[in-house]
Amino acid sequence: MINSVLSSGVYGIARGNDMLNRSADQIAKANLPPEEGGPEELVSPIVEQQMGKIQVQASAKVVQAGSDMLGTLIDIKV
């Protein structure tokens, strides 16, 4: 159970980082016209930056909770 909690948290962090990287790439290309790979508009990449940040923060809390739970179980068994 602890393993799946930690795995879910780490997966969420990776997913949030991917979202941050994709949106940062779009923001970095803001000075390019859309036909050269630039974004049509900047609202979506900026919103995705916030979503990625929240995803990473929430997933880090999941990992922390799993770690705390594991620590508690170890303390109980010792």
- Residue ranges per domain, the chain? 2-77
How many Cβ atoms from other residues are within 10 Å of residue 3's Cβ? 9
Residues 6+ apart with CB under 8 A from 59: 8, 9, 10, 11, 12, 13, 15, 16
Would the pLDDT of 77 be above 70? no
- Within 13 Å and on the Cβ side, how many CA atoms surround 55? 19
Would the pLDDT of 3 be above 90? no
The per-residue pLDDT for range 13-68, each reduced to its tens digit, is 999 999 999 999 999 999 999 899 888 899 999 999 999 999 999 999 999 999 88
Between the alpha carbon of residue 42 and those of residues 20, 23, 47, 64, 76, the distances in Å are 14, 9, 9, 33, 51
